[in-house]
Amino acid sequence: MDWVEESKRFDEAAEYYDHYRPSYPDELVECIESNAGLGPSSKILEIGAGSGKASELFLNKGYELLCIEPGAQLAEVGRRKHRDKKLEYLVTRFEHWDEPENHFDLIFSATAYHWVPQPIGYKKCASTLKVDGNLALFWNMYFGEGDPLYQELVSLCNQYGLVYFQNGKDMEIRIQTIAKEMTDSGYFHNPEIIRYPWKQSYNTESFLGFIKTGNGFLGKSSKEKSEIEAEIIAVLDKMDGSVDIEFVSTLFISQKIPYVMRNEHNKFSLFLCDLHGTSQQGTQFLQG
């Protein structure tokens, strides 16, 4: 699978994406504010901002954002929607961006960081964060356990790769895998993990709109799309045209390990800097 090409499909459905994609709990943003010690002058970068769904939660609190978004149409929707707020979009992929060093207090990414290639992603995040900067990654995860009709709907979505629902065990495996990836990068401390379960009600129209925002649906042929829609509608009709989707918004927040660099032996050199920017080199070998 070409992950770069797959990620571009979201831009084809920019208006759908903005209208039907779910947002995130306010409590999640409040947790980030508290853990990262944000203030009015904090410099914040968002990776994969899309149309500004998560951006909005920070902008409404008065923060200024720099948003990296590879989709030109999604970026245009975000600019238009937030034209009176303090935000700037750069239309590029994060891995291609020439980042400033030691600049941001916080980097966050909302249901998007899995599109960033590694290990360059964590390396660039560490490079552009200040010494005490924080990385906050969060995802809306879709809970797939419920009554038989809910399970039937979930099975269809998973079968066609529309949106992926998971049972509790598989979701926990995914959560621990993300946390381990952050730690194993060598650039960030063990993340704090916070889960926010919540529900959103959908009727037939809004649920169809929701699945049409996914790259799995967008990659289907017209014939396949029509057939899938018919199957989804048939199940929703049995649910009286209404379903409550269960989300688990999961936050991973971690502070940067100061000045960590890999050497040619896949070990790390730790540089300790004083407040005036002069450096004194020491070497500490960490497990990779």
pLDDT, residue 24, reads 97
Peptide bond just before 40 cis, omega within 30 deg: no
pLDDT, residue 264, reads 32
pLDDT band at 259 (very low <50, low <70, confident <90, very high): low
| SS3 category, 112 | coil
The candidate with the shortest Cα–Cα distance to 38, out of 98, 106, 84, 94, is: 106
- Under 8 Å CB-to-CB from 154, ≥6 apart: which residues? 144, 146, 165
pLDDT, residue 15, reads 78
pLDDT, residue 78, reads 95
- CA separation, residue 266 to residues 26, 262, 263, 288 (Å): 40, 6, 6, 7
pLDDT, residue 13, reads 67
- Please, what is the average pLDDT of the chain? 87
Residue range 232-259: mean pLDDT, rounded: 96
Asked if the model's pLDDT at residue 90 lies above 70, the reply is yes
Residue range 262-284: mean pLDDT, rounded: 37
> Alpha-carbon distance 276 to 165, whole Å?
50
Could you report the per-residue pLDDT of 5-29, keeping only the tens digit for each? 544 556 566 777 788 989 999 999 9
The C-alpha R_g of the chain, in whole angstroms, comes to 20
Its pTM stands at 0.86
| SS3 category, 46 | strand
> Alpha-carbon distance 162 to 217, whole Å?
5
Could you report the per-residue pLDDT of 170-199, keeping only the tens digit for each? 999 999 999 999 999 999 999 999 999 999
Residue range 90-109: mean pLDDT, rounded: 97
> Alpha-carbon distance 126 to 230, whole Å?
47
